[in-house]
Every structure is written in C-alpha cells, then in structure tokens.
Amino acid sequence: MKGSKPFGLPSKVSYSKGRGRFFQEFSVFINYYLSEGRLKTRAVLRDLNVMKNIIRRMRSWLRHLAGKEARTAWISHPLFLRHEPGVHHPEAPERIRAIETELRKQGIWNRLQKVEAGEVTDKQLALVHPRKYLRFLESMQPQKGKIYRIDDDTVMSHESLTAARYAAGAVVNAVDMVMNKRAHHAFCAVRPPGHHAQSGKAGGFCLINNIAVGVMHAIAQYRIQKIAVIDFDVHHGDGTTEIFKDDPRVLFLNSFENDLFPFPSFETVGKNPHIVNIAFPPDTGSYDFRKEIREKWLPKLTAFKPELLFLSAGFDAHKSDETSRLNLHEADYAWLSHKIIQTASMCKGRIVSVLEGGYALESLSKSVAAHVYVLAGMGKPDCAVQYDKLLNKQVTDNA
C-alpha cells in the first residue's frame, strides 16, 4: 500500500546500508515480530526458525569475509623484514611487502587469519639441527650494521639468526593450528628461506630448514607417521633431501631446473624410498610442467596417503624470474595448489605452505596470490581462468 511500511516494518529497519547492515537489521525485524507476538501459527514459527538459521549462516559468511574464522592462516612476523643480506641481494625484505600488497589488492587479505609467529625452541630445533651447528650460527652473528658471509650467497646480518628462529617457529605454529583445527591451511610468509639448509650446513640463502623443523615437530608432538613434503621451488631442495633421505615416514616430491644451484648429482641415496625428483630442462613451460606433475607426483601422493602435507613454496620458476629459465605462469601455481588439495584430501585439509624462493617482485607477488587464493577456498583466480583458456586453445591448435 502506497506510503505505508511493508508488513508494518519498524521504521528503524533500513535496507540501504549494505549487506552486513541488512542481515543485522533483518534479524532485528524477525525478533521484533516474535517479541510483539504478531506471528503465532505453528507453520510461520517453523519458517521463522528456518530463516533464523539462514541468518546465522549468513553472519558466519560475513565474518569469513572479514577474516574471522578464516580457513587459512597467514603467519608472519615483523622480524622477517629485519633480515638484511645486502642492498643488491635478491632475497630482500621487499619480497614480503610486495606479497602483502598484492593480497590486499586482490581482496584476499581479509579472507585470512593473521597470526604473528612465535620463536622456535632449542628443543624443537634439536630435532633437525645439532647443537654444534647452532652454536656456529650464533658465533657468526655480526654486529649491527655489518654482515657476515657464510658463502657467496648466504649472508647473515645482525638479526638474521633471530629471524630464522622465528621463521622455523612460524612453521611450528602452523602445524599446531592445522592439527588443532584452528585453521584448515596455513601460509607462512617467512624469511630467510630454508630448503637448502642441511642438518649441519647453511647454504643457498638458508640458515635453518623451516620445513624440516615443522615436520619433526609434527612427528614428535602429534605422533604422525606419514607426512608429505612437496617442494616446487626452481632449485633442488638439497637440504630437505639430506635431512629425510633415511626417513621413510616422509614422502618428498621435489621439482627443479636441472642445471641450477645446487647442481644435484643424485649420487647420495638413502634408505627412504619415498623421494621423487622431477628435473626440468630449461625452457620447460606450463604444458610439460603440468604433465609431469600429473604423471609422477599425483599418483605417488595418492598412494602414500599422508596425514599432513607441507609445501616448500618457491615461485622462482616463473617466466619473469631471472634466477631461472623455466617458463611458468602464476596460473600454474593456482593449478598446482588445486591439484595438491584435491589429491591430498585424505589429510583432512591439513596443509602448511612455507615461502621459499621467488625474487622478481611482481611475478612473486602474483604467484603467491594465486596460490593463497586457492588455499583460502576462494575458487579459481581470474588469472588461471584466462590463462587456462589460452593454454587449452594452444593445445587444440597444435593437435
């Protein structure tokens, strides 16, 4: 009726303030009618209960959008920006800043739980690194404003070791979160990286093997007997290989460019039969990359049935990253993330992803965004939709 409020709606209820405001006020509307006793029939009350359940779910959805009760945790710490290996060093603090900026730009940031990493304990470190090695790192800490070169690539500044301890701590935190159902997945935005660090030796920008510390924490704390580690950094994960070469509890799937540091020879063979290497030649592109993953990784992952899954998430195989000569696209990381989640469904969504390499800031940030977009359960990112159409067209044209 013209000029009247529909169904006697109270004047304080408005539909013009956005979705969150709408759901809040619609709940007020339902409660108003119930409290006024205007709706008495059993059928209507039943319908109102259904409506209340819908409202409750919508509120949960809105909290999800706001980053509360999010399925994926972002674990980082300001200390990671204070690991300063030098002005021209590729493993720079700007990497994490660029990633965060891109996540905000794409609307992913508010879909994540934000968690500040804690420091790893000496006991947790000792599960991977002997005390002698840790004392060596402590003795090499330079004074403020100075750096110490362990080798040509691996550099320590005054706060590097502290940052490395918090990086390993971030992975421990991530394990605790996914195991205790406080998150489905976690992405650890850490520096310095870790997959080149062997049990008693630093190298390749890495001081502490963050992934290995997380794996051993999961085994010691939660008695997990089957863990998968997937390393898709463009450089061979020699540190992780050395640590788990004799541990059959760990499936290690490792892809890399075959002519890059650390120039793997595969001469060292341990007792662990669950190590699968894919060595890509230079100029490998999306089609061949995906084909190898489908044929060599996914069946192994399915057969192994891990209880927990770790990702050594390096993004330096992107075609724009000058540290390698592979030709991947950010959409390939979205595809890989989806395939891993899909194939490893038996681990109940327990996935811990840890930042490794990726040094061209634009491609790094876009690739991480595509990866985290999938981890956060947001579906298929636009970059993947567009690129997959192009890739399918190329395959059809070449058929």
Check whether 238 has a pLDDT greater than 70: yes
Q: Nearest 5 degrees, angle CA 339-CA 344-CA 347? A: 150
Percentage of the residues of the chain whose pLDDT score is greater than 70: 82
Confidence of residue 299 (pLDDT cuts 50, 70, 90): very high
Confidence of residue 57 (pLDDT cuts 50, 70, 90): low
Q: Tell me the pLDDT tens digit for each residue of 187-199.
A: 999 999 999 999 9
Burial label for 377, CB within 10 Å (0-12, 13-18, 19+), is middle
Check whether 267 has a pLDDT greater than 70: no
- Min mean pLDDT across 40-44, 79-83, 92-96, 207-211 is at 40-44
> What mean pLDDT comes out for the span 81-110?
97
> What mean pLDDT comes out for the span 168-174?
98
Higher pLDDT, 13 or 169: 169
Is the bond into 78 cis (omega within 30 degrees of 0)?
Answer: no
Confidence of residue 39 (pLDDT cuts 50, 70, 90): very low
Instruction: Please answer whether residues 249 and 227 qualify as being in contact, where contact means their C-beta atoms are separated by less than 8 angstroms.
Output: yes
> What mean pLDDT comes out for the span 226-245?
97
Q: Tell me the pLDDT tens digit for each residue of 306-315.
A: 999 999 999 9
Return the amino acid letter for 369.
A
> What mean pLDDT comes out for the span 317-328?
97
Would you say the C-alpha torsion 288, 292, 294, 298 has a positive or negative sign?
Answer: negative
Check whether 42 has a pLDDT greater than 90: no
Residues paired with residue 231 on neighbouring β-strands, in sequence order: 254, 312
Average pLDDT, the chain: 88
Confidence of residue 62 (pLDDT cuts 50, 70, 90): low
Over the Cα atoms of the chain, what is R_g? 25
What residues have CB less than 8 Å from 131, skipping those under 6 apart? Answer: none
Percentage of the residues of the chain whose pLDDT score is greater than 90: 77
- pLDDT at position 18: 44
Residues paired with residue 112 on neighbouring β-strands, in sequence order: 72
- pLDDT at position 35: 53
> What mean pLDDT comes out for the span 348-358?
95
The label of the residue with tokens 């500044």 reads 157
Whole-prediction pTM: 0.83
By three-state DSSP, how is residue 57 classified?
Answer: helix
Distance CA 173, CA 187 (A): 11
Spot the catalytic one: 77, 83, 184, 196.
Answer: 196
196 tagged catalytic: yes
- Structure tokens belonging to residue 309: 């899954």
By three-state DSSP, how is residue 178 classified?
Answer: helix
- pLDDT at position 378: 95
Instruction: Please answer whether residues 245 and 275 qualify as being in contact, where contact means their C-beta atoms are separated by less than 8 angstroms.
Output: yes
Domains and CATH numbers, the chain: 72-398 (3.40.800.20)
Check whether 63 has a pLDDT greater than 80: no
Check whether 11 has a pLDDT greater than 70: no
- pLDDT at position 2: 44
By three-state DSSP, how is residue 26 classified?
Answer: helix
Confidence of residue 71 (pLDDT cuts 50, 70, 90): confident
Q: Where are the beta strands (DSSP E) in 295-350?
A: 308-313
Distance CA 9, CA 345 (A): 47
